[in-house]
Chain A
Amino acid sequence: MRDRIQKEISLYEKLNILSDAAKYDVSCTSSGVERQGDGTGMGNCLKAGICHSFSADGRCISLLKILFTNECIYDCKYCINRASNDVVRTSFTPEEVCTLTMEFYRRNYIEGLFLSSGVLKSPDYTMELIYATLYRLRHVCNFQGYIHVKAIPGADQRLIRLTGYLADRMSVNMELPTAESLRLLAPHKSRKNILEPMRFVQEKMKENRQEITLYRSAPRFVPAGQSTQMIIGATPETDYQILRVTESLYKKFDLKRVFFSAFVPVNEDKALPAIREQGPPLLREHRLYQADWLLRFYHFEADELLDEDNPNFNVLLDPKCCWALKHLETFPVEINRADYHTLLRVPGIGYKSAGRIVKARRMGSIGFEDLKKMGVVLKRALYFITCGGKMMHPVRIDKDYITRNLLNTKERLPEGSDGMTFRQMTLFDDMNLSGVNVK
């Protein structure tokens, strides 16, 4: 009924409504695929991806992130477009999406298209519309840029397969880390329903890799892999549970990325937590991303970072520092001798600088000054490393002492570096330790 009463909506209005509705999807990467243009159309892809702007909330804008439609038959509690909400409903046509993408891309506004959608009529119907859009974009407009598309859970596998050959990345949102939460907040979605297309895409990708080794010019199926996202803070899961789920997604489903989205309350519902005053749990999201990086690039495992007794991340210290403080017996490490994997575990040394260290020390020994030039964050690293057998300043390998100094990084030199290794205690000095609970 609603769409009959509603008056015709201009493209400007549509873009406003449908990008506003898509903004809670965090994934905005354009990475994972390297593709040169063929010289007859427009666009290429870079392995690292490119961000083209940054919105006022500091998140990158890389893709034209829109919903195809916000008309949805589902009633997920956390979603602004749930069927029971009274919002203006509208849909793009495939032509409109193509024109917008091409014209924005030409002006170097965007890196490609991110097409998600509410479920219009049925999953199959929606998936078909998405496929039609992508087909037009690839074959009529000759667009060779990046396309990220959502696989609609419950859609026909044939449609997902066809769409996969046109897209670079596909994603199905986990939404919530456990099956119970999902039942509670998204009654129309089920764990099985979500994991099914994920598994399907994974298997197709595996098949496709074999095809490509046999026939070099075989069409690529989802070359940039899959991603997913989880909402953080809408349900009572601990960080440990979330991280475990993340790890198993990487291991069992070959996902490229798992995104976390701090829960922003857009609906009033008794099933949702009321956190309007505190704002979204941004710090928690940040810590999870830090841990996610440790899993993907630093050879950490979820069980090393958290455990049943310590199920949540420290508010004040990042996960890597926390791990290092719990394992002080392995420090300090000698920069000129420690292997790459050990270097990766030192706070303040990233994977890039670890690589540079390994290369540079083949030419001669490295000192603290050189480390700084290579991009090592010395204010964090100095408690955990030695160069040529010496530490940078006379510091103690002591948990409380290091914790205090790490929290106090505004101070330039660690306490005691001028030769004073003791400290006057006072009654009213809380040593900055409140809130830190490193076990």
Chain B
Amino acid sequence: MRQIYICTDTITGLYSALHDAWKECRDGDAGIEVRGKTQQQLFCEYRTVVECEQKAVRLERMIKRYLGCNAYWDIYHALLSDDGAKGTVVFRAMQESRNIKDSRKIMDHLGNPDVAKVFALSRSVSNEAHMYEEFIRFRELENGILFSEITPKAQILTCVADHFTDRFPIENWMIYDKTHQVFLVHGAREQWRLVWGEALNRKAAGMISEKELKYERLWKVFFESITIKERENPKCQQNHLPLRYREGMPEMFQ
């Protein structure tokens, strides 16, 4: 019977599942699936993983020690994606690392389909995170907080957190991930943190400061006048700036 581990779609959950799978069937075949996205198959045994911080920390340490920090970076990003097979391919890539001479070079072994898949997932997640570093727009609320709302495919909040913390260390800012309903909150001169399970207060988020509209207007006029009319090329614009990123960008709406 093939063992399939079911976990929640969080890093702690996936790490716990990987931890259990590695402990019990590292030599055999096993699958890791995310609760709510599983497809029942024949000849499989399903088991829900007991998730805890300790397992996650232990697995993280193990990956970093045996596969190196670069591979850890790829694995971490791959596990943030919205692909249902992510847990299983990471598990198989970890198994594959035992077959090569130097396990720290696992991410160079792109000839292996599972490693290639992990690489592809990690690339797409980090690309999406980079897009949001570019296209997130903050609006200043009445109380001086910078607020932004995004709808990413992958759970990219932790990927952009350090970037914005370094950039705006003495600002209060907050990014709300509508898809996964998570907040990334940063208070002035503090570390960032993630907040789960809170609802967004629409009214408070809609109260923008007085100056906000003025600067939006200035930004729009800059955006208009910087275009060279003779070179207009909407297709090129859309290649670089896909439509799904545009919802929070004031310059894209009249």
Residues of A that sit less than 8 Å from B by CB:
11-12, 15-16, 19-20, 22-24, 36-37, 39-44, 50-61, 64-65, 100, 103-104, 106-109, 262, 264, 279-280, 282, 356, 359-360, 362-367, 370, 373-374
Q: Give the interface of B toward A (CB within 8 A).
A: 100, 105, 108-112, 116, 119-120, 133-140, 146, 148, 166-171, 189, 211, 215, 217-219, 221-237, 239-241, 249, 251
Q: A40-B170, A54-B241, A373-B120 are in contact. Are A108 and B230 (CB under 8 A)?
A: no
Q: Contacts A37-B169, A363-B108, A370-B111 given; 14 further ones with Cβ under 8 A?
A: A12-B221, A15-B225, A44-B166, A52-B134, A53-B223, A56-B233, A61-B223, A106-B140, A109-B137, A359-B108, A360-B110, A360-B111, A363-B112, A373-B110
Minimum Cβ distance to chain B for residue A143 (Å): 11
A-B contacts, 21 listed (Cβ < 8 Å): A16-B224, A20-B225, A20-B226, A36-B166, A37-B169, A50-B133, A53-B134, A53-B241, A53-B251, A55-B226, A56-B232, A56-B233, A57-B228, A57-B233, A59-B228, A107-B146, A279-B230, A356-B108, A359-B108, A360-B111, A362-B108
In the complex formed, the residue of B with least CB distance to A23 is: B226
Considering the complex, give the chain B residue whose CB is closest to the CB of A279.
B230
Task: Kindly state the separation between the CA atoms of A96 and B113 in the bound complex, as whole angstroms.
Answer: 56
In angstroms, Cα B169 to Cα A44, docked, is: 10
Alpha-carbon distance between A408 and B71 when the two chains are bound, in angstroms: 40
Residue of B nearest to A366 (CB): B111
Residue of B nearest to A365 (CB): B111
Q: How far is the CB of A145 from chain B (nearest CB, A)?
A: 8
A364 to B110, CA, bound (A): 9
Residues of chain B lying within 8 A (CB to CB) of residue A55: 223, 226-227, 237
Given known contacts A282-B231, A373-B120, is B218 in contact with A100 (CB within 8 Å)? yes
Q: Give the chain A neighbours of B166 by CB distance below 8 A.
A: 36-37, 44
B225 adjacent to A109 (CB under 8 Å): no
- Which residue in A56, A57, A103, A367 is a CB contact (below 8 Å) of B215? A103
Contact A60:B170 (CB < 8 A) given known A16-B221, A109-B219: no
Which of B110, B134, B169, B251 is the one whose CB lies under 8 Å from A39?
A: B169
Contact of B222 among A15, A39, A264 (CB under 8 A): A15
CB distance from A17 to the nearest CB of B (A): 8
Q: How far is the CB of B188 from chain A (nearest CB, A)?
A: 11
Q: Within 8 Å CB of B236, what residues of A?
A: 54, 57-58
Instruction: Give the chain A neighbours of B225 by CB distance below 8 A.
Output: 15-16, 19-20, 23
A15/B108 in contact, CB under 8 A: no
Q: A44 and B167 in contact (CB under 8 A), knowing A11-B218, A19-B226, A107-B139? A: yes
Give chain B nearest CB distance to A231 CB in angstroms. 13
